[in-house]
Structure 1
Amino acid sequence: MPGCSNANSADSHHLLAIPHDIEKKKRRNDGFDTGYLPTTDVLVVGAGPTGLTLACELMRRGIRCRIIEQSDAPMPLARTLGIQSRTLEVFERMGIVAQVLRQAARVDGNNFYAGTKRLVHMDFGLLAKDHSIPYPYGASLPQTTTERIFTELLQASGADIEWSSELVDFWQEDDAVVALLKHPHDGSDETIRARFLVGCDGAHSIVRKTLGFPFEGTTYEGETLHADVELDWKKSHHEIHRWWSGFGQLDTVPMPGEQRWRLAAFVPAASSQEVPRASRELFQRFLHERARENTAIARNPTSLANFTINRRAVTQMR
């Protein structure tokens, strides 16, 4: 049944017959009638990792799709970088796993500390005992790089991201979804038909809001701060290192490049003061207080950022 969805799902059947009244419906673009509405099998709203993965997989299966993104360019800041073993299997199926692994930092384990004492060591290599797991390790690659790889794959398949394209409204017909798009870069609008519309447009999803789907969950009371730094220390660059202390949590995740690390710290909200902005001085203090490390941060950090984390999900996908 054709329809609107917040799930990464579609099928490969051909378009159903379009009723006469829909087929003859006109659209207006730049003030001129331009004939019949254009059609696509799937309209993907949002060009983040989820939307790009879906679009690439649809094109790989010969399913026509368009992918639109409200922003005018890829985001410059990578908030995430972790890639799990199972994700590498998906990347192999997509044909990009070798490219990802060439550019990523390999992650073979995870360590948890209290001060200088290591409490837990997780050896991902133990996964190799299960011969059904082809990648007994994880990887670390900035989201910006992963999205670039997806985009190149999408372009090679004959599609591309339509930047500065906003979904304004949509409605359900008998055998299609009709969507109204706005293109602010040239002031035009467009009405199209799609057999499926899939919302991959994040926390402020117009797809979810228009469908009236609840977005249940919680928002963490505080902020996560991160910075990409160079650290000259003896910790393994193929493992994650995490500290818990009375001062709070500090994570250090290996990044591509010699001695490159992503530092991330959670700072709880306090009624008496605002959460400080991420800075070199602040992360130097975190290393000393939370990790009992006197290692100096070399050079100025990049990707300094504060953001809040939500743990939410829609209650239904379609």
Structure 2
Amino acid sequence: MRDVIVVGGGPVGILLGCLLAERGVDVEVLERRTEPSMHAKAIGIHPPSMRVLRQAGVAEEVLSRAVRIESGSVQSGGRTLGRLSFAQVTGRFPFVVTLPQHETEAVLRERFAALKPGGLRSGVGVGMLQDRGDHVDVLAEPGGAEAETDDGGQEIVAQARYVVVADGARGALRDAVGIESRALGGAGTYLMADYPDIGEHGDEAVLFFEEGGVVESFPLPGGRRRWVAATPTLRPHASIDDLTALIEQRTGVRLPPSESVPSSFSVRQRLASTMVHGRVLLAGDAAHEISPIGGQGMNLGWLDAVALAPALKHALAQPIEAAVTLAGYDRRRRRSARMAVRQAGFNMAMGRPVSGLRLRARNALVRALALPPLNALLSRAFTMRWL
């Protein structure tokens, strides 16, 4: 029987595995996928997360592959409304790092393999968790190849003293074990893709607050740049030419041809009623789904992991104190998630289509926020220093 099973081998699950293995906890990570996803996902890594990655022993490797963003600008109608410098934020990492999620996952998986050889089991789908009071049975999905049948006819993948669900926002285990979640804040739809970088903005992040809706642009390694545009509705069949035309129509920027396939996604914000349910715990998007506008989601999950690892270590060593220790994790991390939801709601509201007087009022607000002393507070907010 393991000390801890982590269900979900994405960036949050693997990082948690690393942090637990470093503490001598017998941990195993179960992942449904047999190959890493190469789809365009999270790219932004904020300063608090860089500190977490340093704890996990991978910060230097991530930095060697990534782009460092030390400033950002906001534009509208071809004019710059303001600039924001992250270099004024104190600390060892006065910048935001961008690296495609699949590359970040690769670095974390390599580290986990070094810390816990064979600790990642791929191709394992989990259908249900059963809390037995002193341990949790991890049950396979129907027809799972890795399942073993016990005397009661249940297919058991593994057993552990605690199980952490980190299977993402669309995972089914949270609901399956009876943890409710509720909607918070607004929603939105977006298109994004990566293009060759035309070099116009250097290593600066750029937000275009235009009448038709926000367009965001971030540098990536390898001479590429990520472009994200808000859309009125979900557009799953949009082509790269559709996105290119939309960006030019709003911003006037003419992008070069790209072989990238655009990703259409919808944003919703939800928070679980609890992140601790007996011996089953939640981390990452399984606990709190946050708008990716502002790049908080993956980072918030990593901060869950760095809080949960010592809490689990203590709960395993001092069972009589486990309930209080894990309740503290639940309380602190859901409070942080609510703060992230409010910031994400502000980000989405600022990027909605506006015109006339409302457009002028929004632009005036942006100009004010880009000036001292508010710009220092804004830098802290956008680099998640409040966490």
TM range (shorter): 0.7 to 0.9
Q: Which protein shows a greater Rg?
A: 1
Q: Cα offset for 1:173?
A: 1.8
Partner Cα distance (1:96, 1:57) in 2: 11
For residue 118 of structure 1, report the CA deviation from its aligned partner.
1.0
- Of 151, 166, 176, which residue of structure 2 is paired with 1:210? 176
Separation of aligned partners in 1, 2:65 and 2:80: 29
Deviation for aligned residue 1:125? 0.7
1:144 partner SS: helix
Closer, same or farther in 2 for the Cα pair 1:170/1:284, shift >3 Å? closer
Deviation at 1:219, TM superposition (A): 8.3
CA deviation vs aligned residue, 1:170-190 (integer Å, no higher than 9, x gap): 222231112223596746445
Q: Which amino acid aligns with 2:22?
A: R
User: Cα 1:240–1:184, aligned 2, differ >3 Å: closer, same or farther?
Assistant: farther
CA distance in 1, matches of 2:189, 2:265: 5
- Stretches (4+) displaced over 6 A: none
Is the 1:250–1:286 Cα contact (8 Å) retained in structure 2? no
Aligned to 2:354: none
Q: Name which of structure 1's ranges 244-253 and 301-310 shifts more when overlaid on structure 2.
A: 301-310
Q: 2:260 aligns to what SS in structure 1? A: strand
CA contact (8 A) 1:221 1:268 kept: no
1:248 is displaced (CA, Å) by 1.4
Structure 1 window deviating more from structure 2 (78-87 vs 170-179): it is: 170-179
Q: 1:50: how far off?
A: 1.1
1:145 counterpart residue number: 103
Question: Once the 2 structures are TM-superposed, how far is the Cα of residue 284 of structure 1 from its aligned partner?
Answer: 2.4
Residue aligning to 2:230: 266
Q: TM-score, normalised by structure 2?
A: 0.65
Taking the aligned partners of 1:160 and 1:179, their CA distance within structure 2 comes to 16
**Match status 1:155 vs 2:119:** no
- Percent identity at matched positions? 25
- Report the Cα offset of residue 225 of structure 1: 0.8
**Conserved? CA contact 2:137–2:160, under 8 Å:** yes
Matches within 5 A, 1:97-176: 97-127=59-89, 130=90, 133-157=91-115, 158-176=117-135
Does 2:136 correspond to 1:177?
yes
Partner of 2:212: 247
1:3-50 superposed Cα distances (whole Å, 9 cap, x missing partner): xxxxxxxxxxxxxxxxxxxxxxxxxxxxxxxxxxxx100010111111
Alpha-carbon offset, residue 66 of structure 1: 1.2
Tell me, yes or no, if the aligned pair for 1:226 and 1:278 is still in contact at 8 Å: no
| CA offset digits 1:131-153 (Å, max 9, x no partner) | xx111011100000000111101
More helix by share: 2
Pick aligned residue for 1:286 from 242, 246, 255: 246
- Provide the C-alpha distance between the structure 1 equivalents of 2:38 and 2:244, rounded to a whole number of angstroms: 24
Letter in 1 for 2:229: A
Match of 1:224? Answer: 190
The runs of 5 or more residues in structure 1 that have no matched partner are 1-38
Q: Is the Cα contact below 8 Å between 2:187 and 2:269 reproduced in 1?
A: no
Query: Any idea what SS the aligned residue of 1:301 has?
Result: coil
Determine whether 1:95 maps to 2:52.
Answer: no
SS of the residue 1:204 aligns to:
coil
SS at structure 1 position matched to 2:263? strand
In structure 2, do the counterparts of structure 1 residues 220 and 230 end up closer, same or farther at CA, with 3 Å as the change threshold? farther
Q: TM-score, normalised by structure 1?
A: 0.78
By how many angstroms is 1:301 displaced? 3.3
Q: Which has the higher strand share?
A: 1
Equivalent residues, number: 268
Once the two structures are superposed, what CA deviation does each residue of 1:185-208 show, in whole Å capped at 9, x if it has no partner? 746445232110111011233331
Partners of 1:276 and 1:178 lie apart in 2 by 38
In 2 relative to 1, CA 185–206 (structure 1 residues): closer, same or farther, beyond 3 Å? closer
Point out where structure 2 has 5 or more consecutive residues left out of the alignment: 149-154, 277-387
3-state SS of paired residue (2:88): helix
Q: What is the Cα deviation at residue 223 of structure 1? A: 2.3
Equivalent runs, 1:34-73 vs 2, <5 Å: 39-73=1-35
Deviations 1:271-310 (A, max 9, x none): xxx73634332232233222122x331x323142111122
Partner amino acid, structure 1, of 2:125: E
How many Å separate the matches in 2 of 1:193 and 1:187? 13
